[in-house]
Amino acid sequence: MSDLSGKLGLVVGVANKRSISWAVAQAAAAAGARIALTYPSERLEENVRELAATLDHAVVLPCDVTNDAQIAALATSLQQEFGGLDFLLHGAAFAPAAELSNRFIQTSRDGFRLALDVSAYSLIALTNACVPLMDTRGGGSIVTLSHIGADRVFPNYNVMGVAKAALEASVRYLAADLGPQNIRVNAVSAGPIKTLASAGIPGLSMMLQAQRERAPLRRGMELGEIADAAVFLLSHASRAITGEVLMVDGGYHIVGI
């Protein structure tokens, strides 16, 4: 297991116990890190607090990633609680249901704006807020969660594919920008897996079946496998890796048909 002993980390995007972000938070805590979790609204606060209570000394803080004032307040709270930060796991993503069920050509301006704001720009905004905290620790690691829909067309993924493509481009630009400060930026691109977010994508069962039938490993992905890959990228073990998108999909991305 990658070692995160004594590390301080922020995990964004936990919704429930089936969230990839929550799996990463658990794995990071098991590897020795102290974790801060965020919740975007009062509706999800209770869920996040209940999950955080199962970790040792976890901190729970509010943060709507579309609100710059809340992001600034989050950084202030982290400074007060931790004094610095070693890593950020960014798992925020959202698109209105209509933008997934309608044809892509029917994507609305507001839906496009919201999907790109929550799913891609929030990485930039959160990174900007966390960099001063990482500087005090001599550097850090940032990992975001992507999907192969950034590169290929998937039914009913639509504007989320465009948002993930923007997210992956942001990873590369941020990695180039922050490398001199010893801050690394990478992404984990997970194979299809049933989460609260993915359940809203029409045709998810078809994607899961295709994964089992066509991926070289001939099986679906488990949350723990994705979390372990993310923890590797957050840890010192990956200290020479930045600007990368690590595919954790049983090899599905190499298959043509």
**Looking at the annotation, which residues are catalytic?**
157, 164
Cα 165 to Cα 148, 159, 175, distances in angstroms: 9, 10, 16
Nearest to 90 by CA among 47, 122, 131, 48: 122
CB 176, CB 233: distance < 8 Å: no
What is the rounded CA–CA span in Å between residue 9 and residue 5? 11
Placement of tokens 């209940």 in the chain: 50
Burial class (CB in 10 A: 0-12, 13-18, 19+), 66: middle
CB 78, CB 36: distance < 8 Å: yes
How many helices and strands in the chain, by DSSP H and E? 9, 7
Between strands 87-90 and 59-62, the pairing is unpaired
What is the rounded CA–CA span in Å between residue 163 and residue 183? 23
Residues with Cβ within 8 Å of residue 117, at least 6 apart in sequence: 66
Cα 80 to Cα 59, 116, 119, distances in angstroms: 11, 30, 27
Residues with Cβ within 8 Å of residue 50, at least 6 apart in sequence: none
